[in-house]
Amino acid sequence: MINKIIVDALKPLNIPVSFQKYTGKAENYITFHEYLTAGEEYEDDEEALTAHYIQVDVWSKADYTDIVKNIKELLLKAGFKRLNEIDLYEEDTKIFHKGLKFYYLEESDING
C-alpha cells in the first residue's frame, strides 16, 4: 500500500521510481524503501494509526536540486511529513545522491 502511494505521488516527475533498487540506464532516478513501520496510536489496546518511515533516494549525474524540490512538494501534498535529508556523493560511481526521510500516518488495518 505505502509503495503504491509513493510511486503514484512521484509519477508527475517523469523520472524512474523503483522500490529499493533500479537497474535501468536513466541518468536521474529515484529509489525508496521503508526503514521502519510502527504503531503510532492505540485505541482500546488496538493499533489505530500506523506510521511508515521511508527514505527516498535521488540519484543523478548532475545537479538534482529541482528534482528534490519537486519530490518534497509532491510527497507533502500526498500527506507525508519530512523528517530530514542528507547530501551524499558516491565516489565509485561518480553519482550524486540525496537521501530524504519522510513519515506517513495511515489508519491501521492490522486488526481489520
Tens-level pLDDT at each residue, the chain (112 residues)? 899 999 999 999 999 999 999 999 999 999 999 999 888 778 887 878 889 999 999 999 999 999 999 999 999 999 999 999 999 999 998 999 999 999 999 887 654 4
pTM of the model: 0.88
| Residue in 102, 101, 97 with CA at minimum distance from that of residue 87 | 97
Rounded Cα distance between 58 and 71, Å, is: 9
Whether residue 89 is contained in a domain is answered as yes
Torsion of CA 88, 91, 94, 97, to 10 degrees: -20
pLDDT at 109: 65
Whether residue 90 is contained in a domain is answered as yes
Query: Which CATH number fits the domain that encloses residue 43?
Result: 3.30.2000.30
Rounded Cα distance between 101 and 94, Å, is: 23
Whether residue 100 is contained in a domain is answered as yes
pLDDT at 82: 97
- Residue 102, all three cell numbers: 519522510
Whether residue 112 is contained in a domain is answered as no
CB crowding 61-98: b at 16 or more within 10 Å, else e: eeebeebbeebbebbeeeebeeeebeeeeeeeeebbbb
pLDDT at 1: 86
The boundaries of the domain holding residue 59 are: 2-107
Total number of domains in the chain: 1
Whether residue 33 is contained in a domain is answered as yes
Rounded Cα distance between 32 and 35, Å, is: 9
| Residue in 105, 111, 93 with CA at minimum distance from that of residue 46 | 111
